[in-house]
């Protein structure tokens, strides 16, 4: 009986990332050797942005220069109430995604990202976050309306990420959070035939 892949743990990749060469894929940017995670993943749980999706990665008091989406557009967004601080709207699901999120974190001069969410999230707090998702969707809609009307291309580009986040909340996120709750409780993926925990 095999495991069901409903959660992917990025922390082994984070631990092995120091010294690894990150190829940005941008011809104008040089490749980059990743520093030790403890040197730049210094965000504080108490300062995290409430928009972060539950999981190990989160953005707290980050810079507001909007660099995260340049490398990790499928994972990073910016808020519009705390001066454009960055947050994680989709946790990485493989090594390549993890390196993109780590590179976004390396480029934050305030070192405001962290990956110790597993030490803080509980099944109850994940369920509480999910129960409050209407607040999140309402914010997404307000921010998208505001930025869609902007004359700035970078602000209009954020609408793509906001649309992706809304679709994620209304689609796969529920299953991913059930898998994450299982992971928090068991520190493994469920076996075939095992029930996932509920979100209510």
182 in Cβ contact with 197 (< 8 Å): yes
Judge residue 83's burial from the number of C-beta atoms within 10 Å of its C-beta, 0-12 exposed, 13-18 middle, 19 or more buried: exposed
Q: What is the pLDDT of residues 169-185, one digit of tens each?
A: 999 999 999 999 999 99
CA 131 – CA 46 distance, rounded (Å): 20
**pLDDT (0 to 100) of residue 6:** 85
**Average pLDDT for the chain:** 92
pLDDT tier at 1 (50, 70, 90 boundaries)? Answer: low
- The residue-averaged pLDDT of 50-66 equals 95
**pLDDT (0 to 100) of residue 3:** 64
List Cα–Cα distances, 100 to 14, 24, 93, 145, in angstroms.
11, 8, 11, 28
pTM for this predicted structure: 0.93
40 in Cβ contact with 113 (< 8 Å): yes
CA 70 – CA 100 distance, rounded (Å): 10
- The residue-averaged pLDDT of 59-63 equals 94
| Tokens describing residue 49 | 């942005």
**pLDDT (0 to 100) of residue 4:** 65
State yes or no: pLDDT of 61 exceeds 80. yes
Q: What is the pLDDT of residues 74-107, one digit of tens each?
A: 999 999 876 789 999 999 999 999 999 999 999 9
| Tokens describing residue 94 | 């493989």
- Spans of all domains in the chain: 11-186
48 in Cβ contact with 59 (< 8 Å): yes
Q: What is the pLDDT of residues 8-17, one digit of tens each?
A: 999 999 999 9
**pLDDT (0 to 100) of residue 32:** 76
CA 52 – CA 68 distance, rounded (Å): 14
- The residue-averaged pLDDT of 30-53 equals 92
For 73-130, the DSSP string reads TTTEEE-SSSSS-EEESS---SHHHHHHHHHHHHT-TT-BEE--GGGT--HHHHHHHH
Other Cβ atoms closer than 10 A to 80: 17
């Amino acid at each position: 009986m095999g495991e069901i892949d409903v959660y992917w743990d990025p922390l082994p990749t984070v631990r092995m990332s120091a010294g690894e060469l990150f190829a940005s894929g941008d011809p104008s940017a040089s490749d980059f050797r990743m520093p030790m995670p403890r040197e730049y993943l210094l965000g504080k749980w108490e300062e995290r942005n409430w928009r972060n999706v539950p999981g190990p990665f989160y953005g707290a008091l980050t810079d507001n220069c909007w660099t995260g989406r340049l490398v990790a557009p499928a994972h990073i967004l910016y808020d519009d109430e705390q001066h454009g601080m960055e947050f994680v709207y989709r946790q990485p699901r493989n090594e390549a995604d993890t390196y993109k999120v780590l590179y976004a974190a390396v480029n934050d001069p305030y070192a405001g990202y962290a990956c110790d969410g597993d030490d803080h999230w509980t099944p109850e707090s994940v369920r509480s976050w999910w129960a409050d998702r209407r607040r999140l969707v309402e914010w997404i809609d307000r921010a998208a309306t505001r930025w869609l009307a902007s004359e700035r291309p970078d602000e209009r580009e954020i609408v793509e990420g906001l649309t992706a986040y809304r679709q994620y909340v209304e689609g796969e996120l529920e299953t991913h959070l059930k898998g994450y709750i299982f992971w928090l409780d068991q520190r493994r993926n469920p076996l075939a035939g095992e029930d996932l925990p509920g979100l209510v």
